[in-house]
Amino acid sequence: GDFCEATIGFRDAAQGRVLQQVFDQPSFRCSLTPDPTGVEVCGALKNVVALAAGFADGLGLGGNTKAALVRIGLCEMRLFGELLLGGMRQDTLLHSCGLADLVTTCYGGRNRKCAEAFVREGKGWQALEAELLGGQKLQGTLTSHHVHDLLVKKNLAHRFPFFETIHKIVTGEAEPSQIVAQAGSYY
């Protein structure tokens, strides 16, 4: 099969090496990081960023705009780790769980696909899940709600204008075009 990779976050280095030995193959490389929480947060937040990529696709915006939104999303992922995780390792973002999964999800994942359809077809999230995902649930919309609630609780929403704009679009408080209209307030 095609080459791919994954990231194993560990607390115990010996256990991490055992998992790496079990799963690592020439066509499936497994890297290690002593940052399991960072791996999990990257896995969750990439889905929120993918919504923005889908909004951009649905609006017919170009590749440069989409790439800029992905970069902005990566910046807020880093800031989230810094402010809310007590210092997510910065190199975790460069592992497969970070940048590689973010790019893959923003250019081909189901969150991107449904967000594009949300803009183009004007249907609600539940209808899109039923139609495009066979009833599976989107992770990005749910995670967006949880991220927003946490940011409000920690009085940090103002530090995450991109995530907050995505949340407003998801909940219908803002139009999808706001993803770029607010670009000057992002990083």
Closest by alpha carbon to 167, among 83, 103, 102, 73?
73
The Cα 98–Cα 41 span in angstroms is: 9
Closest by alpha carbon to 42, among 89, 111, 107, 3?
89
Crossing angle between the packed helical segments 139-153 and 161-170, to the nearest 10 degrees: 130
CB-based burial label for 105 (10 Å; 0-12, 13-18, 19+): buried
With residue 54 as reference, give the H or E element that holds it.
helix 36-58
Sign of the CA dihedral with 171 first, then 174, 116, and 111 last: negative
Given the residues 46, 66, 113, 168, select the one marked as catalytic.
46
- Under DSSP, the state recorded for 143 is H
Is 153 catalytic? The answer is no
CA-CA-CA-CA torsion for 58, 100, 90, 65, nearest 10 degrees? -30
Q: Which residues are catalytic?
A: 46
